[in-house]
Structure 1
């Protein structure tokens, strides 16, 4: 389980004295605990690994947006801190699909659904997310789906 890997990373960072990595791992664990609390009232709890991956992806997206804002505001030191946190977060995420693999998945879904125009984009994106959400960059996938359906 990914959660166990993250907990072990916390222990390793403590033993190794890596304060920056330890702080980032603690942020991840705190956010996961928040998600656990949110899901206590859910009718059906999602698979733990799927929930962890989704949470990590959201955290990574937030860091990327923060890096862009800090760079625009000439705050390089803050952008660098966000980059370090992003690197730690991404180290726990499964490997991403390449553009070629994503194009192949889109082609398969297009054939399965009979999608032929941009009007079918919502259906293709929904199916793509259902099949490959944990290993897919949805922003990049959106661009590739538009290309495939245009």
Structure 2
């Protein structure tokens, strides 16, 4: 199962590269090539551990990491007054997000966090660690970590 999922993602990226080349869509082409490169690098990284390909979870991790990098860059560029670069990063982010699972709304994230707070019995900001572990595990790839942290902090205060 893992192999076919991995093949599908790599094949999908290869197909997307071909489409972007035909459409002469430079930003899309660069973004997808960079995603494929990062996935291939990560595959090489896990080989010594006896793994030949990435698991779907590892693929999701790579995609989420790339999306986070773009979000951070956008913030940095905006603060530096480089809207041109921020716009380019935003376009790349939009392309990367098409490969990620649908991001949950704030209300959906809050409902999941409320359940976790209740199940671990968290009552104060001291319990943040008890909540963040299970929250990040459950929301991995479905919500931005910074947003999850802010919601947990607000609910425990």
Instruction: Tell me the TM-score range normalised by the shorter chain.
Output: 0.7 to 0.9
Q: Choose which of 49, 59, 62 in structure 1 pairs with 2:66.
A: 59
1:34 aligns with 2:41: yes
SS in 2 for 1:20: helix
Which structure has more RCO (C-alpha within 8 Å, separation ≥ 6)?
1
**Counterpart position of 1:116:** 123
Q: Distance in 1 between matches of 2:50 and 2:135?
A: 25
Q: Which runs of 5+ in 2 are unaligned?
A: none
4+ long deviations beyond 4 Å = 43-47
| 1:27 Cα deviation from its structure 2 partner | 0.5
- CA shift at 1:41, angstroms? 2.3
Q: CA RMSD in A?
A: 2.1
TM-score (norm 1): 0.87
TM (normalized to structure 2)? 0.84
Aligned-residue offset at 1:69: 2.2
Sort the Cα spacing of 1:75 and 1:10 in 2 relative to 1 into closer, same or farther, 3 A: same
* Alignment counterpart, residue 21 of structure 1, candidates 23, 28, 45: 28
Aligned length: 150
